[in-house]
Amino acid sequence: DKSEAVGETVDYKITGIDPGAGIMEATDRAIEDYDLDEWSVVTGSGAAMTAALKKAYDKEEPIIITGWSPHWKFAKYDLKYLEDPEGSYGGSEELHTITRLGLEDDFPEAHAMLQNFNWLEEDMAEVMIEVIDGEKPEVAAQNWIDKNEEKVTEWTDGIDKVDGDEIKFVYVSWDSAVASTNVVALVLEDLGYEVEMLQVEAGPMWAAIADGSADVLLAGWLPITHGTYAEKFEGKYEDIGTSMVDVKIGLVVPTYMDIDSIEDLK
């Protein structure tokens, strides 16, 4: 039977990422929803996951990863999402910009820019691909800004410059969050802000916004991926809008694998 074959080839392991990621919680849910008792999820990091993917892919070996888009892996490899008829991973998600309470009063110019901030999957992909090809994130971000003046002008149109106010971003080392945080940081620096970027884990990222020790996070994946965090800290943050729509999480495999659905793992 198909599932036994697949399970055995990957040792009944799904290659996951950092334990605080919403996609890990969703994967635990999938294991329950699809009765995948024999299966386990290996924790690690985004970088460890993509390293494992590269290693398997180069040898055309089977691998099942927790995957999301936007992500550069879809540009570098032929991959497919496994169908999720139970909806363990939700449907189409959105990226929300989340700020601490009071940011609008303290930094109205930054708040206005952040509210305007939105871009497309292919925009973010450009930055991510340059970074994975070896460019420094801040350089890749600046290159994207230089090539997309019109879009950036839309975000900053009519917003006054400030004089060195300090604003602090929190982000996780997910390639997607690295890309967006670097781009927005440069745009705010151009408006006169001094930007600090603090890399943390997912739980501490939400907690820092809720307790006011940081100002902004750009990687709020809602409604499902970070739903537990959003609920836990309800009333202690402001959701100021979406920066991207139609983003997605799920289980991802190379197209050379002969399975199509999470059900095939049962």
Minimum distance of ligand PBE from residue 44's CB (angstroms): 12
Q: How far is CA 136 from the centre of its chain?
A: 18
- Residues 6 or more apart in contact with residue 198 via CB below 8 angstroms: 168, 169, 170, 171, 208, 214
Pairing of strands 93-99, 216-222: antiparallel
Minimum distance of ligand PBE from residue 57's CB (angstroms): 19
Minimum distance of ligand PBE from residue 109's CB (angstroms): 27
244 close to 120: Cβ distance less than 8 angstroms: yes
Residue 221 binds to ligand PBE (criterion: CB under 6 A): yes
Q: Which of 6, 10, 23, 125 binds ligand PBE (CB under 6 A)?
A: 23
- Segment near ligand PBE (CB under 6 A), from 19-27, 97-105, 111-119, 124-132? 19-27
Residue 16 binds to ligand PBE (criterion: CB under 6 A): no
Residue 169 binds to ligand PBE (criterion: CB under 6 A): no
Which residue reads 């970074």 in tokens?
A: 131
Q: Which of 249, 253, 262, 265 binds ligand PBE (CB under 6 A)?
A: 249
What are the φ and ψ backbone dihedral angles of 95, each rounded to 5 degrees?
-95, 120
94 close to 71: Cβ distance less than 8 angstroms: no
- Segment near ligand PBE (CB under 6 A), from 15-23, 32-40, 142-150, 208-216? 15-23
Residue 21 binds to ligand PBE (criterion: CB under 6 A): yes
Minimum distance of ligand PBE from residue 166's CB (angstroms): 26
Residue 219 binds to ligand PBE (criterion: CB under 6 A): yes
Minimum distance of ligand PBE from residue 183's CB (angstroms): 16
Residue 229 binds to ligand PBE (criterion: CB under 6 A): no
Residue 176 binds to ligand PBE (criterion: CB under 6 A): yes
- Residues 6 or more apart in contact with residue 21 via CB below 8 angstroms: 66, 172, 174, 202, 225
Q: Return the number of the residue (32 or 189) whose C-beta is nearest ligand PBE.
A: 32
Q: Return the number of the residue (175 or 264) whose C-beta is nearest ligand PBE.
A: 175
State the binding string over 63-82 for ligand PBE (x if CB under 6 A, else -).
-----x--------------
Which residue reads 């307790």 in tokens?
A: 211
Q: Cis omega before residue 108 (within 30°)?
A: no
Report DSSP letters for 109-120, one per residue.
HHHHHHHH----
Amino acid at 150: E
Written as six digits, the tokens of 168 are 């602090």
- Residues 6 or more apart in contact with residue 22 via CB below 8 angstroms: 202, 221, 224, 225, 226, 227, 228, 229, 249
Residue 50 binds to ligand PBE (criterion: CB under 6 A): no
Cα 181 from Cα 147, distance rounded (Å): 17
Residue numbers at the binding site for ligand PBE (CB under 6 A): 17, 21-23, 68, 174, 176, 202, 219, 221, 225-226, 249
